[in-house]
Amino acid sequence: MSFAMYPMSRFFDLLRRPATVVALVATVAVWTSAGGTASAAGNVFSVSGVEVDETADTAARARTTAFRRGQRVALAALLRRLTLRANHARLPSVDNERMDFMVQALEVADERTSDVRYLATMTVNFKPLEVRRLLREAGIPFAETPSKPVLVLPVQQRGDTLVLWDDPNLWREAWSQLPPSNGLVPLIVPVGDLSDIADVDAAQAAEGDPLRLSAIARRYGAGDVLVAIATVSDTANAIRVDIAASQIGAPTRVPILLSFQISDPEALPELLVGAATGVAAAVEDTWISKNIIEFDRPGRMLLAVPLSSLEQWVSVERRLNNIASISEVSLISLTRDSAAVEISHYGDVTQLTAVLAQQDLALERSPSLTPGSDPFRSVQTDRALQMRVLRPITP
């Protein structure tokens, strides 16, 4: 496997090489694996798996065209990742000059060339500030906060029989065929091994048994469980499929409901794949709608952070800086067992609480002080009254 990284300064040099017209002599193909995925490092603004295949009159020109097209495919995938499906039709496009400015770096792997052809797999890293500016100029709301992984338990019901791990379960097979998640919500489909079978059965999953679901979620490192039940009913002339999916750990459990009807039994597996795709997209939309950054609602908050060590503060500070809706983190004081912090953020307290929870940080009201009419209150007391406690759930 070959690998190369192109800083944008070198990329500009490539584009300045003499080339007036790119003469394409064969069909051009540019696509992404699973629509482009976030990098392994978890960078929301990085799109990987962008495969390019270009043919031109020279390999150099094919490479230049491939880089251009690959960047556009990556930007389109990134904008879809951050926005609601209802807004995808009006996502903005950019000219080459602005694209050059938006791209931070290109990483290229598996390069193959001939005299007239260039093939590679690209990872494109975009500048967060420029992506935000583009979407705000277009008036399109967006979210950036990634969700913890969600574990999917596909339960199939036919008559009175519930099936999760046993075969045949066409519904679980449909979920297993979906490509890796490209969005802000990573979805995990269990493998169905002996440990899975021991953790939860079909009836317990359908009932939402909290102990059983917590056990399997913990083992997979998931923050939530999506129980998706597909009820298949046979009628005289058709097969009806009703989908009901609920995120068990969500604060408000609003189910995703879908219904389909087909006359050809052979089409059932394909229909279920489409249904799984629709449920996954609905989960993504629900997450984005709850985490849209509300730039018109800025706020500031004082936080008291209990600590077990100074190393834990480093971890907490890093997690705070990873949250898109927090624009500034200012350390006021730091001791061995606590820190006082002021943050600038967008959105209300409910939204802030939810995004902090994704970083394993619990936002609580301070239990030690309550507002009153004490005549001896000082400015320091007033600041303490406004403080909330930010408690790290993990080290």
Q: Are 152 and 158 in contact (CB under 8 A)?
A: no
Low-confidence winner among 29-38, 235-244, 365-374 (lowest mean pLDDT): 29-38
Instruction: Say if residue 27's pLDDT is above 70.
Output: no
Residue 201 has phi, psi (to 5 degrees) of: -110, 180
pLDDT for 17 equals 40
Tens-place pLDDT, residues 342-378:
999 998 888 899 889 888 999 998 665 444 444 444 4
pLDDT score at 250: 65
Question: Are the C-beta atoms of residues 153 and 200 closer than 8 Å to each other?
Answer: yes
pLDDT of residue 176 exceeding 60, the answer is: yes
**High-pLDDT (> 70) share of the chain, %:** 83
In the DSSP assignment, the letter for residue 182 is: -
211: three-class secondary structure by DSSP: helix
Average pLDDT over residues 301-312: 93
Give 314: exposed, middle or buried? Use CB within 10 Å, 0-12, 13-18, 19+. Answer: exposed
pLDDT in tens, 123-162: 999 999 999 999 999 999 999 989 999 999 999 999 889 9
Instruction: Give the DSSP per-residue string, 101-129.
Output: HHEEEEEEEEEEE-SSEEEEEEEEEEPHH
Predicted confidence at residue 376, as pLDDT, reads 44
**59 touches 115 (CB < 8 A):** yes
> What is the Cα–Cα distance from 234 to 257, expressed in whole angstroms?
19
Three state DSSP letters for 308-345: CCHHHHHHHHHHHHCCCCEEEEEEEEECCCEEEEEEEE
Q: Which residue has the higher pLDDT, 186 or 354?
A: 186
In this structure, what token pair is assigned to residue 89? 């039709």
Residue 87 has a pLDDT of 96
Residue type, 366: S
Q: Kindly report the length of the chain.
A: 395
Answer yes or no: are the C-beta atoms of 68 and 84 closer than 8 Å.
Answer: no
Residue 382 has pLDDT above 60, yes or no: no
Query: Which of 203-212, 238-247, 288-297, 360-369 has the least mean pLDDT?
Result: 360-369
pLDDT at 201 over 70: yes
| Weakest-pLDDT range from 18-22, 32-36, 49-53 | 18-22
At 37, is the pLDDT very low, low, confident or very high (cuts 50, 70, 90)? low
Q: Going from the N-terminus, what domains does the chain have, and what CATH number goes with each?
A: 3-137 (no CATH), 150-290 (3.40.50.10070), 298-392 (3.30.70)
Distance of CA 45 to the CA centre of its chain: 10
* Token pair listed for 125: 């890293």
Q: Could you give the C-alpha distances from 193 to 66, 153, 165, 166, 199, in angstroms and in order?
A: 42, 13, 8, 11, 10
CA-based nearest residue to 26, from 117, 113, 115? 117
Pick the most confident of 41-50, 87-96, 235-244, 380-389.
Answer: 87-96
Strand pairing partners for 341?
Answer: 303, 331
Mean pLDDT of 274-291: 94
The residue whose two tokens read 């750990």 is 249
